[in-house]
Copies of this chain bind each other. A is one copy, B any other.
């Protein structure tokens, strides 16, 4: 390869001369093609391709407190319009969805605050969001009732985490709820670590009432064959990962189990690879496992998901048009 073969495409400098739409700015980022701007524009391109690919099953892996922080409606919308086909989440994100579904709220707060004072006021802090313990208690009450119902209906039969979220969604009458949108749209929500959230505490309340007899049983492994089956039956698969952790690993494990690998991959994270954790691992590393295909369209964007993800979605919605609907795969 010679010098002039490598130096082909000059950086075109970003121009902002007046009002720009989100995607017009992303096109500028594509022209410059450098650092985070280049990565973000590539992420938009890849997500656009996923969305336009009717044969592709799109997995959204969700970690970090983005639902209480303002992404609740957006994710519900993506589910309803089938911009994602499967959601794999931390328990906590769905807990916070449910808090709002039963009338609770998340409040703007601040990261510089006296946490002892908050503790005395029964206010929980999530960086710069405040949540009232009362809203958790209201949710606990509702969950205990729901668990009682499900336990009675299932009569000792274990359900999977996706059946669990389906049963929740069936009982939450809030159109803005992610759980509700998923229930109505038949989009499965997997919670591979659901005990690790208020869902676990509510279980304790529910089960201790009858001395842990006849309690709800969520079969920890039961969603494994469900997600593997979905992956196996798809022509192509793509993942959008917010933050890493168990959700990213769960989605990638399905790709590995079926020996098919992801065709598309977008990861938005602040983690870095050098300390060896899955969350910061590169998509090249994922290729060695077969979790992501060697020839996949793939990119990591290093940044705060609360900034990056909405920009990516806005850019792609602008490209495909507001009326665009994907069919269920």
Q: Is the CB of B123 within 8 A of A11?
A: no
A105 at the interface (CB under 8 A from B): yes
Query: Quick check: A253 and B200 within 8 Å, CB to CB?
Result: yes
Q: Which residues of B contact A175 (CB under 8 A)?
A: none
Cα(A17)–Cα(B128), bound, Å: 26
Stretch of A47-55, A65-73, A233-241 lying at the B interface: A65-73
Count of chain A residues with a beta carbon within 8 Å of a chain B beta carbon:
140
User: A66: shortest Cβ distance to chain B, in Å?
Assistant: 7
Q: Which residue of B lies closest to A111 (CB)?
A: B273
A226 CB, nearest partner CB in chain B, Å: 10
Query: Which of B37, B63, B225, B302 is within 8 Å of A212, CB to CB?
Result: B225
A201 to B21, CA, bound (A): 43
**A207 surroundings in chain B (CB, below 8 A):** 221, 225
Asked if A34 is an interface residue, CB under 8 A from chain B, the answer is: yes
A residues with a Cβ closer than 8 A to B are 1-3, 6-23, 25, 28-29, 31-40, 63-66, 68-74, 77, 90, 92, 105-109, 111-113, 115-119, 121-130, 132, 158, 161, 176, 192-197, 200-201, 203-204, 207-208, 212, 215-221, 223-225, 228, 243, 245-246, 249-250, 253, 256-257, 270-279, 281, 284-285, 287-290, 294, 302-308, 310-311, 313-314, 317-318, 321-322
- The 4 closest A-B CB pairs, nearest first, are A32-B70, A36-B304, A18-B322, A34-B69
